[in-house]
């Protein structure tokens, strides 16, 4: 794995040399645009709106639209004029309780690896954060942008998780969410019973990207069929729940979940019996 950024974590007078590594990976399928008649790949062109002519890279500049149709050009020197302190430092400004932070603020994690001479301070910060259940709130500049970030202890690793600034989160108060509707006690009790019956321990390996896997199956079928059209399989349709049917739908859901768990228990017991017999 290759580091995308090297610098240091700073809090108080403590300075820890670290390297930043991606903690996630994208599994998106990549598609090319093709011409339908001969499947020739279609390339993108940089075309000017004014006359439709292609523009070479050396004639392209960055501009900010300050009014509709009016732009101011920013050159490399202009970006360099922005005086951001500690551009190679994860500058921790506060430590706050992890439970106080709305998860909506977090959006992209990175692993932090200690560099030469930073092991002891790295372990000290990691263990102190883990025991205190605190998050270090920091500012960091990566490439040409400053980010708000949280420094967390996750198992044996320090994680830097990029965060949204407060002004970046949309106001949920503008949504038309029902506020005056009050469900009946029976509905609440049944909904809680359904939640309880569907509750289990968190196991991230249990959840798969069904859409990607199904799309790969379609691709493989088309490859085997030489690119010909394949017969579409019928899809079950889900009907929206009617308000008047909520109680009966909840009851059916409880019965279905109970039956499913019973089947799973039988399957596990059968599997354990066969394994014991084989041993």
What span, in angstroms and rounded, lies between the C-alpha atoms of 100 and 113?
A: 26
Q: 252 in helix, strand or coil?
A: helix
What domains does the chain contain, in order, with CATH numbers? 5-26+82-168 (2.40.290.10), 185-233+242-263 (no CATH)
H or E stretch at 270:
helix 246-278
What span, in angstroms and rounded, lies between the C-alpha atoms of 71 and 29?
A: 36
CB 92 within 8 A of CB 135: no
- Statement: residue 50 has pLDDT above 60: yes
Q: What is the pLDDT of residue 279?
A: 56
Q: What is the pLDDT of residue 22?
A: 87
When pLDDT is cut at 50, 70 and 90, the band that residue 269 belongs to is: low
What span, in angstroms and rounded, lies between the C-alpha atoms of 228 and 218?
A: 11
What span, in angstroms and rounded, lies between the C-alpha atoms of 275 and 267?
A: 12
Q: What is the pLDDT of residue 55?
A: 92
Per-residue model confidence as pLDDT tens digits over 87-133: 678 889 999 999 999 999 999 999 999 999 999 999 999 999 999 99
> CA of 149: how far to CAs of 18, 139, 223, in Å?
15, 6, 44
Q: What is the pLDDT of residue 237?
A: 67
User: Could you write out the DSSP letters of every residue in 142-171?
Assistant: ETTEEEEEEEEEETTEEEEEEE--GGGS--
Q: What is the pLDDT of residue 154?
A: 92
Which has more confidence, 272 or 150? 150
Which has more confidence, 66 or 144? 66
Query: How high does pLDDT run on average in the chain?
Result: 82
Per-residue model confidence as pLDDT tens digits over 217-237: 888 887 887 767 767 667 666
Percentage helix, strand, coil for the chain under 3-state DSSP, each rounded to 5 = 35, 25, 35
When pLDDT is cut at 50, 70 and 90, the band that residue 10 belongs to is: confident
User: Could you write out the DSSP letters of every residue in 63-91?
Assistant: EEEEETTEEEEE-HHHHHHS--S-TTEEE
Per-residue model confidence as pLDDT tens digits over 236-259: 666 655 555 666 777 777 777 776
> CA of 36: how far to CAs of 30, 33, 42, in Å?
18, 9, 10
CB 98 within 8 A of CB 135: yes
Which has more confidence, 86 or 123? 123
Residues with Cβ < 8 Å from 54, sequence gap 6 or more?
45, 46, 47, 48
Upper half-sphere CA count for residue 178 (Cβ side, 13 Å): 4
Q: What is the pLDDT of residue 135?
A: 96
Exposed/middle/buried for residue 133 (C-beta within 10 Å: 0-12, 13-18, 19+): exposed
Torsion of CA 127, 129, 133, 136, to 10 degrees: -170
Exposed/middle/buried for residue 171 (C-beta within 10 Å: 0-12, 13-18, 19+): exposed
CB 92 within 8 A of CB 137: yes
């Amino acid at each position: 794995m290759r580091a995308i950024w090297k610098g240091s974590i700073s809090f108080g007078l403590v300075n820890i040399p670290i390297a930043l590594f991606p903690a996630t990976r994208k599994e998106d399928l990549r598609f090319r645009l093709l011409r339908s008649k001969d499947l020739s790949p279609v390339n993108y062109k940089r075309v000017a709106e004014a006359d439709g002519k292609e523009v070479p890279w050396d004639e392209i500049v960055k501009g900010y639209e300050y009014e509709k149709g009016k732009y101011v050009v920013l050159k490399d020197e202009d970006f360099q004029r922005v005086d951001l302190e500690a551009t190679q430092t994860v500058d921790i400004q506060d430590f706050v309780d992890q439970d106080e932070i709305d998860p909506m603020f977090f959006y992209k994690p990175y692993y932090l690896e200690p560099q030469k001479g930073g092991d002891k301070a790295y372990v000290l910060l990691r263990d102190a954060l883990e025991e205190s259940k605190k998050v270090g709130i920091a500012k960091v500049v990566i490439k040409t942008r400053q980010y708000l970030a949280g420094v967390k202890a996750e198992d044996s690793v320090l994680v830097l998780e990029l965060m949204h600034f407060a002004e970046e989160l949309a106001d949920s108060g503008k949504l038309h969410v029902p506020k005056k509707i009050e469900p009946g006690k029976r509905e609440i009790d049944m909904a809680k019973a359904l939640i309880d019956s569907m509750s289990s321990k968190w196991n991230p390996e249990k959840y798969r990207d069904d859409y990607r896997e199904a799309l790969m199956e379609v691709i493989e079928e088309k490859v085997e069929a030489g690119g010909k059209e394949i017969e579409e399989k019928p899809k079950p349709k889900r009907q929206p729940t009617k308000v008047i049917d909520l109680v009966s739908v909840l009851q059916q859901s409880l019965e279905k979940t109970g039956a499913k768990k019973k089947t799973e228990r039988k399957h596990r017991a059968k599997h354990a019996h066969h394994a014991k017999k084989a041993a």
